[in-house]
């Protein structure tokens, strides 16, 4: 394995989208940010210099960081922020991951513009489990706001109301040529007939599950979240914030009887709850055949065909096809004996408006909140990792509940008003080293059911089950796939349904778990696992490196 070095300068830069110039925070002036390239098993050292004017941290999404929570990045969970003028060196330890991951800011709403791809190739001397693609094309899906997003966030913290929705979805930072002043910037991917391309697709957005497809072409999914899948071919994929999909595109337009030289790639929101506002724009990019005659490349590409905004059946049908590859080189290892069973309800709630404000802009004049097992996570002011390491008291409590504190018909829409309320707390779950954990996430309809992309730091997990309605402890485990379930770091818990995951807690440290919809995480849809040290030296957390920022 090899060491790679990157310098990330956090700084402001001016970008124009939708005809307006705006100052955004970037890495090295780039938006989207630079791509990190590595091979499986490599170590990537990233020096982050904060030349902006606000506190920031960076997270390496989907990297397990074995024994090294110190470089994981979530603000006030594993570190204090890097203050303006300060710097921090992150050691990103790649172990089992192979495929596509990404990095993003993990402070306030900074990840809106501070994100980029991590491309992890097979170890030297090993190969992809499919024919080597002619080229690889990173596709970062995201959103653009005309307003300053952190200002919107500040406002919502004051009013207790919703954070406004984005103005447009984007592909590689661009909305595409359906939008004013956007034609020249539209992302273009050049391809040649007869060749196969690997699309490394990332949903870096804050708020939307997205359908993505390429007009006139099918996609063969070969991986998700940097683990290989059994290949399956679809017209469109569905990708939630936090997830990645590796898909092969065969440039076969002639074989399909088409004479066009240009095709749209397109991304559009799947709104699992259409009662709340969502970004209803369609972002496009262009796939261009360089060997097509100029006339065929001049016209307007055919309009993209994607499922409807509310097509939950299309999304469920897609997700049901995900299976771990399970080859000799990429075996499946689902833990069979569970040590810790947890059932965790997911809810959007309210808390009373803070004193000083007469009323807030959330439901019933209250403040929006969100919870896991009715605990609305409250970020401490000293990071939990440091508090754990140095045994500082009063920063967190260890009584995060294993079960919902009260049982009701979780997925029924008529939830009595008293159930809307939750309580804030900084509660964590402590695990023995190596314990096998099964978490069943249960969506609730408290203030409206919707999908939730639940993300775990420090581990990938097997998604062993998924279903609609209330999880039934007696009958649903019999439906689990314990043979070849997908191995992911972000699972989309279906609206008014449940998802069951399993992982082995063989990574000592402090690991955040949260909804990857940014407003839900901000409202408290989060918790933390503390995994204790094991007995052997290889089972102990690394020592605190020098140079960690102070709060
Ligand atoms: Cu991609 Cu905690 O985040
Ligand atoms: Cu959520």
Instruction: Write out the DSSP string of 404-416.
Output: -SS---TT-S---
Which atom of ligand 1 lies closest to the CA of 61?
Answer: 1
Is the sign of the CA dihedral 387, 388, 393, 397 positive or negative?
positive
Give me ligand 2 centre to Cα 453, in Å. Answer: 6
Q: Distance from the CA of 493 to the center of ligand 2, in angstroms?
A: 9
Ligand 1 closest atom vs CA 102:
1
| C-alpha–C-alpha distance, residues 242 and 140, integer Å | 11
pLDDT of residue 426: 98
Helix (H, G, I), strand (E, B) or coil at 297: helix
> Of all atoms in ligand 1, which is nearest to the CA of residue 73?
2
Counting ligands in written order, which one lies closest to the CA of residue 225?
1
> What are the φ and ψ backbone dihedral angles of 203, each rounded to 5 degrees?
-100, 100
Last residue of some domain: 261, 295, 325?
A: 325
Q: Determine the distance separating the centroid of ligand 2 and the alpha carbon of 348, expressed in angstroms.
A: 8
Q: How far is the CA of 489 from the centre of ligand 2 (A)?
A: 15
pLDDT attached to residue 354: 78
Asked which of 77, 92, 126 is the last residue of a domain, the reply is: 126
Q: Are 192 and 251 in contact (CB under 8 A)?
A: yes
Centroid of ligand 1 to alpha carbon of 456 (angstroms): 8
* Atom 1 in ligand 1: residue holding the nearest Cα: 61
What per-residue confidence (pLDDT) applies to 258?
Answer: 74
Integer Cα distance of 291 and 192 in angstroms: 6
- Kindly state whether residues 426 and 497 are assigned to the same domain: yes
Same structural domain, 346 and 477:
yes
Look at the alpha carbons of 233, 235, 240, 243 in this order and tell me if their dihedral is positive or negative: positive
Structure token pair of residue 526: 């989060």
- Residue minimizing CA distance to atom 3 of ligand 1: 61
Q: What backbone phi and psi angles, to 5 degrees, belong to 455? A: -120, 135
Domain count, the chain: 3
Q: Which two tokens stand for residue 297?
A: 């490349």
Which numbered atom of ligand 1 lies nearest the CA of 241?
1
For residue 74, the ligand 1 atom closest to its alpha carbon is 2
CATH, residue 179: 2.60.40.420
Q: In what order do the strands lie in the sheet with 526-531?
A: 428-431, 526-531, 509-515, 452-456, 490-493
Does residue 61 contact residue 72 with C-beta atoms inside 8 Å?
A: no
**Burial of 177 per CB tally in 10 Å (0-12, 13-18, 19+):** middle
CA distances from 432 to 16, 113, 461, 509 (A): 50, 37, 17, 11
Predicted confidence (pLDDT) per residue in 323-346, tens digit: 999 999 999 999 999 999 999 999
Q: List ligand 1's pocket residues with C-beta within 6 A.
A: 59, 61, 74, 104, 106, 242, 455, 457, 512, 514, 516
36-39 β-sheet, strand order: 36-39, 115-121, 99-105, 58-61
DSSP state, residue 111 = G
Express each pLDDT in 411-437 by its tens digit.
999 988 889 999 999 999 999 999 999
pLDDT of the residue at 159:
92
116 and 153 share one domain: no
- 484 lies in a domain? yes
* Closest atom of ligand 1 relative to the 62 alpha carbon: 1
Same domain, 179 and 112: no
Q: Which ligand has the shortest distance to the CA of 521?
A: 2
Establish if 549 belongs to a structural domain. Answer: no
Judge whether 271 lies within some domain.
yes
pLDDT for the residue numbered 394: 97
193 Cα–ligand 2 center, Å: 41
Same domain, 391 and 430: yes
Q: What spacing in Å lies between the alpha carbon of 16 and ligand 2's midpoint?
A: 30
Ligand nearest to C-alpha 346: 2
pLDDT at position 298: 86
Among all bound ligands, the one having the nearest atom to the CA of 449 is 2
Residues 274, 299 within the same domain = yes
pLDDT at position 164, please?
Answer: 87
Closest atom of ligand 1 to 111 CA is 1
Pull the structure tokens for residue 379.
């970020």
Gyration radius of the chain over CA positions: 23
Please, which residues have CB within 8 angstroms of residue 183's CB and are 6 or more apart in sequence?
Answer: 177
pLDDT lower than 70: segments of the chain = 1, 254-257, 355-357
Q: What is the ipTM of this complex?
A: 0.98
Q: Which ligand is nearest to the CA of 372?
A: 2
* 3-class SS of residue 520: helix
Residues 98, 95: Cα–Cα separation, whole Å = 9
d(CA 338, CA 182) in angstroms, rounded, equals: 52
Diameter of the chain by CA atoms? 71
Residues 6+ apart with CB under 8 A from 255: none
Give the residue among 433, 435, 430, 498 at the shortest CA–CA distance from 464: 498
In this structure, the answer to whether residues 56 and 142 fall within a common structural domain is no
Domain boundary residue, one of 285, 302, 325: 325
163 falls within a domain: yes
pLDDT at position 255: 66
Quick one: 392 and 473 in the same domain? yes
- Whether residue 103 is contained in a domain is answered as yes
Specify whether 20 is located in the same domain as 136. no
Angstrom distance (rounded) from CA 462 to CA 438: 9
Report DSSP letters for 319-388, one per residue.
HTT--B---SSS------S-SEEEEEEEEEEEEPPPTT-S--SSGGG-EEEEEETTEEE---SS-HHHHH
In a domain, 333, yes or no: no
Question: How far is it, in rounded angstroms, from Cα 254 to Cα 218?
Answer: 14
Task: Please state the atom number of ligand 1 nearest to the C-alpha of residue 104.
Answer: 1
Residue 334 lies in a domain: no
Residues 356 and 423 in one domain: yes
Tokens representing 87 are 């710097």
Helix ranges (DSSP H) in 87-189: 149-159
Q: Using CB atoms within 10 A of its CB, is residue 535 exposed (0-12), middle (13-18) or buried (19+)?
A: exposed
Residue 441 CA to residue 461 CA, distance in Å, equals 13
Distance from residue 178's CA to the centre of ligand 2 (Å)? 30
User: What's the CA-to-centroid distance between 517 and ligand 2, angstroms?
Assistant: 5
Measure 516 CA to ligand 1 centroid, in angstroms.
6
Ligand closest to CA 512? 1
Residue 469 lies in a domain: yes
Q: Where are the beta strands (DSSP E) in 73-195?
A: 87-93, 99-105, 115-121, 135-144, 168-171, 188-191
Residue 475's pLDDT is: 98
* Measured distance CA(142)–CA(205) in Å, rounded: 4
Q: Kindly list the distances between the CA atom of residue 143 and the CA atoms of 10, 114, 411, 479, in Å, as whole numbers in the listed order.
A: 20, 12, 30, 37
Domain span holding position 20: 1-126
CA 526 to chain centre: 14
**Do 225 and 244 meet the contact criterion of CB atoms below 8 Å apart?**
yes
Pair 101, 17 in one domain? yes
| 3-state SS, residue 198 | strand
Nearest 5°: phi and psi at 539? -110, 15
For residues 10 and 114, membership in a common domain is answered with: yes
d(CA 387, CA 301) in angstroms, rounded, equals: 56
């Amino acid at each position: 394995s090899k060491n790679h070095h990157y310098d990330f300068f956090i700084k402001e830069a001016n970008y124009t989208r939708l005809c307006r110039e705006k100052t955004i925070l970037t890495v090295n002036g780039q938006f989207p940010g630079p791509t990190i390239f590595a091979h499986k098993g490599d170590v990537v050292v990233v020096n982050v210099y904060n030349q902006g004017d606000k506190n920031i941290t960076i997270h390496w999404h989907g990297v397990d960081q074995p024994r090294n929570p110190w470089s994981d990045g979530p603000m006030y969970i594993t570190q204090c922020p890097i203050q303006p003028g300060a710097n921090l060196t992150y050691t990103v330890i790649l172990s089992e991951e192979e495929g596509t991951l990404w990095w993003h800011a993990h402070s306030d709403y900074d990840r809106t513009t501070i994100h980029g791809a991590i491309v992890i190739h097979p170890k030297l001397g090993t190969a992809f489990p499919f024919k080597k693609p002619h080229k690889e094309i990173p596709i970062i899906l995201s959103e653009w706001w005309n307003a300053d997003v952190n200002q919107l966030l500040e406002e919502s913290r004051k009013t207790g109301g919703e954070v406004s929705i984005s103005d447009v979805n984007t592909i590689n930072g661009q909305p595409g040529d359906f939008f004013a002043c956007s034609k020249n910037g539209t992302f273009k991917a050049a391809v040649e007939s007869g060749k196969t391309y690997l699309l490394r697709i990332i949903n870096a957005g804050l708020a939307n599950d997205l359908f993505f497809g390429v007009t006139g072409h099918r996609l063969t999914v070969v991986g998700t979240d940097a683990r290989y899948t059994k290949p399956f071919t679809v017209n469109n994929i569905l990708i939630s914030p936090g997830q990645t999909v590796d898909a092969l595109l065969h440039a076969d337009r002639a074989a399909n009887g088409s004479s066009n030289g240009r095709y749209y790639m397109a991304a559009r929101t799947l709104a699992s709850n259409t009662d709340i506002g969502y970004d209803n724009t369609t972002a496009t990019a262009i796939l261009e055949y360089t060997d097509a005659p100029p006339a065929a490349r001049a016209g307007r590409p055919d309009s993209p065909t994607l499922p409807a905004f509310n097509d939950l059946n299309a999304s469920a049908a897609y997700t049901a096809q995900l299976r771990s590859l399970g080859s000799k080189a990429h075996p499946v290892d689902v833990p069979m004996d569970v040590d810790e069973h947890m059932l965790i309800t997911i809810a959007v709630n309210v808390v009373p408006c803070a004193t000083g404000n007469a009323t807030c802009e959330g439901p019933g004049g209250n403040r929006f909140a969100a919870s896991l097992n009715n605990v609305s996570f409250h970020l401490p002011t000293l990071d939990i990792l440091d508090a754990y390491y140095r045994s500082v008291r009063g920063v967190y409590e260890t009584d995060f509940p294993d079960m919902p504190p009260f049982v009701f018909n979780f997925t029924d829409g008529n939830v009595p008003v008293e159930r809307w309320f939750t309580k804030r707390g900084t509660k964590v779950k402590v695990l023995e080293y190596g314990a096998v954990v099964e978490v069943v996430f249960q969506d609730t309809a408290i203030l409206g059911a919707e999908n939730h992309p639940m993300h775990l730091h420090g581990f990938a997990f097997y998604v062993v089950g998924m279903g609609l309605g209330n999880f039934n402890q007696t009958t649903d485990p019999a439906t689990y796939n314990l043979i070849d379930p997908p191995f992911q770091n972000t699972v989309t818990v279906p609206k008014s349904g449940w998802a069951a995951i399993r992982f082995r807690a063989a990574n000592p440290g402090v690991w955040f778990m949260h909804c990857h919809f940014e407003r839900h995480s901000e409202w408290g849809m989060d918790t933390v696992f503390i995994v204790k040290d094991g007995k052997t030296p290889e089972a102990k957390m690394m020592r605190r490196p020098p140079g960690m920022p102070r709060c």
